[in-house]
Amino acid sequence: DLEMSRDVVCLVQCLRLIGESISMEMAFLMEMACFRLQPPEKAAEQILEDLIANDTENVMEDIHSKLQEIRNPIHAIGLLIREMDYETDADMERAPHLALRMSLAQLFGSSTAAHVVCGGVAKICTVRFLLCRDLLILQQLLLRLGDPMVLGGGQLFQSQQDLLHRTSPLLLSYFLIRWASQCLASDVPVDTLESNLQHLSVLELADTTALTPHRLVSGPQTIVELFFQEVARKHIISRLFLQPNTSLAETSLNWPHLITSIVTDFLPLLWPSNPSFLFPECLMGSCQYTQLQEYIRLLQPWCHVNMGSCCFMMGRCYLVMGEGHKALDCFCQAASEVGREEFLDRLIQPEEGEVVSTPRLQYYNKVLRLLEMLGLPELVIELATLAIMESADDWRSQATLRTCIFKHHLDLGHNSEAYVALTQNPDPGRQLDCLRQLVVVLCERSQLQDLVEFPYVNLHNEVVGIIESHARAVDLMTHNYYELLYAFHVYRHNYRKAGTVMFEYGMRLGREVRTLRGLQKQGNCFLAAINCLRLIRPEYAWIVQPASGAVYERPGASPKRSHDGECMAVPSTRQIEILELEDLERECLLARIRLTLVEHDVSAAAVAGNSTPEETVSLLVRAGLFDSAITLCQTFKLPLTPIFEGLTFKCIKLQLGGEAAQAKAWDWLAANQLSALVTTKESSATDEAWRLLSSYLERYPSQNSLYHRCVINKLLAHGIPLPNWLINSYK
């Protein structure tokens, strides 16, 4: 169409006249408008006013006369815009990546080639940016003239406005690519790159073509050169040489033609309004976060393609810069575009075996993983809370998110919030896991008041079971689960259970912790159990205790086996016995006397802890603690015969022994209280022992003088003559 060609030539001549008339100050006005995200149309209008005001050489008249020669200015401008626009519906990013032939693998792979190609891109963008600027000014002039004859007769004002709004993004696109062609890439340490790769692997982006390892370069490199070498070159070479029916594939390499083709194919990959998102993704993979942030800042206000992806990238930049809450806002904004943009769709590809949920929930899960890896629990909680609103009908996702919220609240020490998240979990299994974790963590932190005072609505039995299982499975002296359980029941005024817990604690201490400290704790446990039963009405003051020989099943314990290695049958029923307050008081007395024994003779601790009353009496007699032995016998209604036999034998040994035995005897004699005993300087340990025996025979009479005969038999058996006082007492 010769007329259209003539129109375009005249149009370009008009643009040249405008370009030659623009001063540096006017040019700077447009540059700053683009950089400050101000409307280019306003800047063009301001420049036009300055041109008219400073028109000393009648340039405006020349332009006006040239415009008169254009038959259809609207069509000519539209044609010029179309020629400069690299927007395409084709998805450049997903071009097939076939293995290049060895001869082409490194084609244009050097830094020099990258510099030449990217220099060509920068030159094209600079020229076309100026062309678009002048075109905007010309369009403002056409609007100002408003001459129907100039506008090609009857052209609508709306058409002019449409062209103006098409030219403005075109100018901004070239400005952005020109800026990227001048922006230097940062040198990134290897460990930072590796850390970045780990973060991207959480998003499952680490294996994409945009994220190849960053190569060392000999000199400064722009981000466009970085993108060309790392990503774009392979795409372009694949497209040029591996598609059928292309002249380049059939002929030898034509270098001028080839570099033109490469530049032509490179520009669409950089074009902001194309679906391809390779350039920002490459910047993210190469840790060029400062440059990426500025790129998106220049892009976002006017480009409506990949808006969600840009928000996500900006969020990633904010995370790297340490501005977590800004990052979270960006991630939330990006969520609205999930399912509409190719880059975001790649984020939500479900893993093998993963339950497929809604696209937005999958997106939230990926971001949550990233925030967790970066150690940002507050942001995880905030985003998970938002995601719960998306999962109203998906109880599995709700359970996962509630568990996530619980975990991070607990890690942060927000115990009440963690408890609330636990109670709201719809999955009973996960709820029980969280409850178990809450108990263990709060115990480890010694935050027992919170643990006891939580209401545990519909979870009371579960929490008691968890604490009981831990109490029975861990070392008694390093963990206080029994004391926690006691406090738990007392806080709820369940005194019988509290007493049962402390009695069990005391019994286990006697069996498993046979030390002075263990016996001290055992006595305190029995006292606490007695106090609990005294708070209950007498008819209810009893507890249930497993019968002698019964053991608690511990989680994870191996089954009991016979000597042949066979598993022993577990009794189907367990005998129980009822313990009343009097029984507990007797056990408490026994524990107190055991403690007295061990305080007197530490070596007895190994056997005293779990000894029966009869065994304890024998130990007391051997240690010379006869008063305690008599108290124990009277409490448990045992005969005093072993005591009289033991004391008689000690008297015999003292009578036959030397001075060493005499000196040692004063220790156990002092442990027995005898008010009638008057010690003088002349009295010996032997005399005091005989007097103690005499006082016991007087104080504790027996039927048929059983105890007298017991003493007499013992003396006669050892050939000791009977003392006169004994004969008189017996008579």
* pLDDT tens column, 682-724: 678 888 888 998 998 988 888 878 888 898 998 899 888 888 8
Nearest in space to 498 (alpha carbons), one of 462, 536, 460 = 536
Q: Looking at residues 481-493, what average pLDDT do you find?
A: 95
With cut-offs at 50, 70 and 90, classify the pLDDT of residue 152: very low
Alpha-carbon span 80 to 560, nearest angstrom? 91
With cut-offs at 50, 70 and 90, classify the pLDDT of residue 98: very low
| 344 touches 305 (CB < 8 A) | no
pLDDT of residue 210: 46
| 266 touches 114 (CB < 8 A) | no
What average pLDDT is seen over the chain? 86
Among 263-272, 321-330, 477-486, 553-562, the range scoring the smallest mean pLDDT is: 553-562
Alpha-carbon span 437 to 417, nearest angstrom? 14
pLDDT of residue 261: 87
pLDDT of residue 90: 53
- Convert the pLDDT of each residue in 429-461 to its tens digit: 999 999 999 999 999 999 999 999 999 999 999
Q: CB-based contacts of 282: which residues, under 8 Å, 6+ apart?
A: 210, 211, 226, 227, 230, 231
pLDDT of residue 197: 87
Q: CB-based contacts of 284: which residues, under 8 Å, 6+ apart?
A: 200, 210, 211, 292, 313, 316
Task: For 29-61, give one letter per residue: b (16+ CB within 10 A) or e.
Answer: bbeebbeeeeebbebbbbbbebbeeeeeeebbe
**249 or 231: which carries more pLDDT confidence?**
231
Q: Looking at residues 520-539, what average pLDDT do you find?
A: 95
Among 212-221, 253-262, 665-674, the range scoring the smallest mean pLDDT is: 212-221
Q: Is the pLDDT of residue 156 over 80?
A: no
Could you give the maximum distance between any two Cα atoms of the chain, in Å?
157
Query: In which region does residue 408 sit, left (phi positive, over 0), alpha (psi from -120 to 50) or beta (all else)?
Result: alpha
Sign of CA dihedral 204, 210, 214, 215: positive
pLDDT of residue 445: 92
pLDDT of residue 719: 87
Q: Looking at residues 144-151, what average pLDDT do you find?
A: 62
Nearest in space to 87 (alpha carbons), one of 5, 4, 174, 158 = 174
Q: Is the pLDDT of residue 208 over 60?
A: no
Give me the phi and psi of 251, to 5 degrees please.
Answer: -115, 170
The percentage of residues in the chain with a pLDDT greater than 70, rounded to a whole number, is 86
Q: Looking at residues 256-264, what average pLDDT do you find?
A: 86
Q: Looking at residues 453-474, what average pLDDT do you find?
A: 93
List the beta strands (DSSP E) in 481-616: 542-546, 576-580
Q: Is the pLDDT of residue 325 over 90?
A: yes
Q: How many degrees, rounded to 5, is the angle at CA 36 between CA 35 and CA 40?
A: 80
- Strands 576-580 and 542-546, bridge-based pairing: antiparallel
Alpha-carbon span 442 to 468, nearest angstrom? 15
CA distances from 633 to 246, 593, 615, 620 (A): 111, 11, 11, 11
Alpha-carbon span 340 to 478, nearest angstrom? 57
Q: What are the boundaries of each domain within the chain?
A: 2-97+105-299, 641-730
Report long-range pairs for 413-422 (Cβ below 8 Å, ≥24 apart): 413/445, 415/442, 415/447, 415/450, 416/450, 419/450, 419/454
| 183 touches 291 (CB < 8 A) | yes
pLDDT of residue 570: 53
Pull the structure tokens for residue 645.
């036999």
Alpha-carbon span 547 to 569, nearest angstrom? 18
pTM score of the predicted model: 0.79
DSSP code of residue 604: G
pLDDT of residue 352: 60
pLDDT of residue 555: 46
Among 112-116, 414-418, 514-518, 553-557, the range scoring the smallest mean pLDDT is: 553-557
Sign of CA dihedral 496, 498, 504, 506: negative
Nearest in space to 31 (alpha carbons), one of 141, 160, 115, 133 = 133
Q: Which residue is listed with tokens 């026994």?
A: 590
Q: Helix, strand, coil proportions of the chain in percent (round to 5)?
A: 70, 0, 30
**548 or 497: which carries more pLDDT confidence?**
497
Q: Is 304 exposed, middle or buried (0-12, 13-18, 19+ CB in 10 A)?
A: exposed
The percentage of residues in the chain with a pLDDT greater than 90, rounded to a whole number, is 55
Q: Looking at residues 56-73, what average pLDDT do you find?
A: 87
CA distances from 284 to 371, 373, 396, 571 (A): 16, 17, 33, 66
Cβ neighbours around 696 below 10 Å, total: 20
Q: Looking at residues 229-258, what average pLDDT do you find?
A: 71
Alpha-carbon span 680 to 601, nearest angstrom? 27
With cut-offs at 50, 70 and 90, classify the pLDDT of residue 392: confident
Q: Is the pLDDT of residue 216 over 60?
A: no
CA atoms within 13 A on the CB side of 190: 2
Q: CB-based contacts of 110: which residues, under 8 Å, 6+ apart?
A: none
* CA gyration radius, the chain: 47
Q: Looking at residues 350-368, what average pLDDT do you find?
A: 80
| 501 touches 485 (CB < 8 A) | yes
Report for 156-170, 386-400, 524-538: range of highest mean pLDDT:
524-538
pLDDT of residue 31: 96
